[in-house]
Structure 1
Amino acid sequence: MNEAERWLETVEALPDHAGCDPAELALDEGWWDQIRALYALTDEVVMLDNGYWGAMANPVLQAYQQATVTVNEGNAWFGRRTFPALFEQARAQLAQVLGVASDEIVLTRGATEAMQLLIGGYRRLAPGDGVLYADIDYDSMVSAMQWLQQRRGVEVQRIALPEPFDHDGIVDAYRQALARYPRTRLLLLTQVNHRNGMLLPVAEICALARAAGVDVVLDAAHGIGQVDTPLRELGADFVGINLHKWFGAPVGLGAMYVRRGRVRDLDPYMGEPDNDDIRTRLHTGTVNFAACMALPVALALHQRIGVANKRARLLRLRNQWLDALRDDARVQLLASADPRLSSAIAAFRLRGQRDMDANAATAERMLVQSRVFVVAREGLASGACLRVTPGIFSTPTQIDALVQAVRAVAG
């Protein structure tokens, strides 16, 4: 029995939730206390910046630590003889969890690497073509889209999504943008954005793009793992995924998805063969052996908890603080009440406080005064904000502490 198999037994020993309604389970504090007990978390602060990366649960951490020992002991003998099969097993298990084929997935060091490969490598662009992104998109992806002007000679267009946002308004904003920029050939979408946490109606926007002859490259770093829409149903052929956020894998793991038949629409990686093997579009060199070996345990725990249950719990915690502050005139909430647009992440700003320095100062005051840790984000057309991100191990008591901290800094 290898390390992953040993810790998988620990995961299988967790309480069974089969047949439970996710909305009801989201309110079962006893069940979530058992999940929380799997994590060794700091009590120095109320940690509400869980969007940076997701803490490993103890079974994953222990599998990772033991795998590190195994790799170190076996050295090149292990790396060359034993590890390749374990790596492919991890890749196959990830594909199974995502509901796609193994030959459509390759492991990366994170969503940023995957997205940069997809954007930079997209070869169906000619000078004068257009690419399009929005103000909610992640900085590194925006930089990659802008870089296409130098690399491919394209025109880069940016749109600002409306606030307050609603489902039909968001879809219409993309519909109008595709009509306004008819030469668009590549559209960047972010399933769940890292600024205000809006969950885009990706499938509907992808359908609009497809009808207009536009390919979508989807940043699913914050989506897949906490949103229960199957990957194939999103309608995007090119997707970047994080595994160290909502899947709880070791830091430094992500994945790139390319729908079968689309690999040749990407440049091969620096001299790699130009064929249909997705692995020719990435070459990382020596990988983090131990992280890859611990991935099956993270995936097993993810499935044991259930993505629908994760989503219901995270929305329960999100809605707790939003509902408590909704009628506070001193606070501007950057979040929709529509569950179709909702994720674990939401944001706020104090009324009139739109610049980054002011929001960063507010975050520092919340930390010093109340030991509540949130993070300031900028980039929205409407201004900077404070992002709040609970995890599946967060508690209603911690959310109450957040509400009190916001009220205290609002004056």
Structure 2
Amino acid sequence: MAEPVRREFIRQSDMVNYENSYYVRQRFWLDFEAVRAKVAEAAGAAPDEIALTRGATEALQLLIGGYNKLKSGDAVLYADLDYDSMQYAMNALKARRGVDVVKFDVPEPATRQAVLGAYARAFDANPKTRLLLLTHVSNRTGLVMPIAEIVRMAKVKGIDTVVDAAHSWGQLDFKVGELEADFVGFNLHKWIGAPLGVGFLYIRKDRLADIDRDMGDEEFPETDIRSRVHTGTVNFAAVLTVPAAIALHQEIGAAAKQARLRYLRDYWVSRVRAFRDIEILTPDEVGLYSAITSFRLAGKTSKSDNDAVVAKLRDGYKVLTVRRAGVAKGQCIRVTPALYTEEADLDRLVEALAVVRRPSEEV
């Protein structure tokens, strides 16, 4: 959280703690609905097209698990760069819905045409596919998928798409309609900067019937999107702080945030690409990257290889990176600058990589 948001979270926590059950029973749900309306407006959706959740994982699990148009013998499809928890949810459809689950690999190195070609081939090879999981910004490599193009390709084949936008809204400048997808899960506690534990799901208004009510929810009518989420008690203060996070996001400007994050990414990547023994997995092609970029040392594809590099960068140079598994060609290391990251921080990263990559400095 940015400092203004953190202060608001403390203020709201104090208020909820002081007013306690009276507030929750008398006023919270009015405030909750005001927050939902604010989120919808910012995302470019109607209020009755979104429901607040505890994060993108919960939102996407509800969309995937609740999708009711599958029948035995159908297939569902996802890629190696999709998030682990969402892969699990897709895998669970085999037992739950009687479908075949198909996984394929996104090409590396990625280009727009290579990515589109990979999805086209996957569709052609699996003509019984009826549901696709598609990640807007991969948490593994930072690859930004050409979502609208893939969604259009899928629709031609009679395939519905659930889009994982956990990392994209706030990192990229877009409205939900631009994705052209009917089902999308979002985080508010990542690049929007709200407190931990808040997100939302989007279901286009005319597709609500295709997602089941959550565990048969009866708090809301079947025609109300809020029946697709039954979280129970939420973190009231976290929800109440969301408008402050959105206000700051809008004050900075989505386009300005996107430009800043891409600048910071380009600042270090442009220099590290000169190191022939470091593979940059995220392309420089316009529209296919934002803040997140991953790399691996040539030939270093195992968990132990990448854990050792992460430890060296952290303990030797005070640079925090994250090992990422699940990439078809081997594990890698993710670098994620934030808005407050400075060029000097990235200078230290580049200097560290110049040393860590050398055979004499094997880790």
Q: TM-score, normalised by structure 1?
A: 0.86
Q: Distance in 1 between matches of 2:334 and 2:275?
A: 18
Report the equivalent of 2:145: 200
Report the equivalent of 1:227: 172
Q: Does 1:388 align with 2:331?
A: no
Q: Distance in 2 between matches of 1:193 and 1:302?
A: 22
Q: Which runs of 5+ in 2 are unaligned?
A: 359-363
Residue identity matched to 1:254: G
Q: Distance in 2 between matches of 1:320 and 1:69?
A: 41
Report the equivalent of 2:247: 300
Q: Does 1:174 align with 2:174?
A: no
Deviation of 1:229 (Å) = 2.3
Report the equivalent of 2:69: 124
Deviation of 1:370 (Å) = 0.5
Q: Distance in 1 between matches of 2:140 and 2:338?
A: 16
SS of match in other structure, 2:81: coil
SS of match in other structure, 1:262: helix
Report the equivalent of 2:318: 371
Q: Deviations over 1:241-287 (max 9, x none)?
A: 00000000000001010000211111111222462211111111111
Q: Deviations over 1:55-99 (max 9, x none)?
A: x01111111101111111111111111211111111100000001
Q: Distance in 2 between matches of 1:161 and 1:269?
A: 32
Q: Distance in 1 between matches of 2:126 and 2:76?
A: 9
Q: Distance in 2 between matches of 1:183 and 1:224?
A: 31
Which residue among 308, 319, 326 is the counterpart of 1:361? Answer: 308
SS of match in other structure, 1:386: strand
Residue identity matched to 2:66: G
Q: Does 1:81 align with 2:18?
A: no
Which residue among 299, 302, 307 is the counterpart of 1:352? Answer: 299
Q: Does 1:321 align with 2:268?
A: yes
Q: Distance in 2 between matches of 1:59 and 1:368?
A: 31
Residue identity matched to 1:233: E
Residue identity matched to 1:296: P
Q: Distance in 1 between matches of 2:286 and 2:10?
A: 38
Deviation of 1:226 (Å) = 1.2
Residue identity matched to 2:160: D
Q: Distance in 1 between matches of 2:329 and 2:314?
A: 25
Which residue among 288, 310, 314 is the counterpart of 2:235? Answer: 288
Which residue among 259, 276, 286 is the counterpart of 2:204? Answer: 259
Deviation of 1:225 (Å) = 1.4
Q: Does 1:70 align with 2:15?
A: yes
Report the equivalent of 1:58: 3
Report the equivalent of 1:42: none
SS of match in other structure, 2:78: strand
- The answer to whether the 8 A contact 1:261-1:276 is kept is no
Q: Distance in 2 between matches of 1:103 and 1:268?
A: 15
Aligned residue pairs, count: 356
Greater Cα shift, 81-90 or 129-138 = 81-90
Residue identity matched to 2:317: S
Q: Does 1:311 align with 2:258?
A: yes
| Paired-residue identity, % | 47
Report the equivalent of 2:287: 340
Which residue among 88, 91, 98 is the counterpart of 1:153? Answer: 98
Deviation of 1:213 (Å) = 0.6
Which residue among 184, 197, 214 is the counterpart of 1:239? Answer: 184
Which residue among 279, 294, 309 is the counterpart of 2:226? Answer: 279
SS of match in other structure, 1:373: coil
Runs of 4+ more than 2 Å apart: none
Q: Does 1:102 align with 2:25?
A: no
SS of match in other structure, 2:354: helix
Q: Which runs of 5+ in 1 are unaligned?
A: 1-55
Residue identity matched to 1:384: Q
Q: Distance in 1 between matches of 2:249 and 2:60?
A: 23
SS of match in other structure, 1:156: strand
Q: Deviations over 1:205-226 (max 9, x none)?
A: 0000111110000000001111
Q: Does 1:408 align with 2:355?
A: yes
Q: Distance in 2 between matches of 1:224 and 1:362?
A: 30
Q: Distance in 1 between matches of 2:217 and 2:314?
A: 49
Residue identity matched to 1:100: A
Q: Distance in 2 between matches of 1:309 and 1:271?
A: 43
Q: Deviations over 1:313-337 (max 9, x none)?
A: 0000001111001121121111111
Report the equivalent of 1:144: 89
- Name the structure, 1 or 2, with higher relative contact order (CA <8 Å, separation 6+): 1
Aligned pairs for 1:204-215 (under 5 A) are: 204-215=149-160
Report the equivalent of 1:90: 35
Residue identity matched to 1:74: E
Deviation of 1:230 (Å) = 1.7
Q: Deviations over 1:384-411 (max 9, x none)?
A: 0000000111111101111111112112
Q: Deviations over 1:144-191 (max 9, x none)?
A: 101100100000001101111100110111111111100000000000
RMSD of aligned residue pairs (Cα, Å): 0.8
Q: Distance in 1 between matches of 2:317 and 2:296?
A: 17
Report the equivalent of 1:270: 215
Greater Cα shift, 398-407 or 184-193 = 398-407
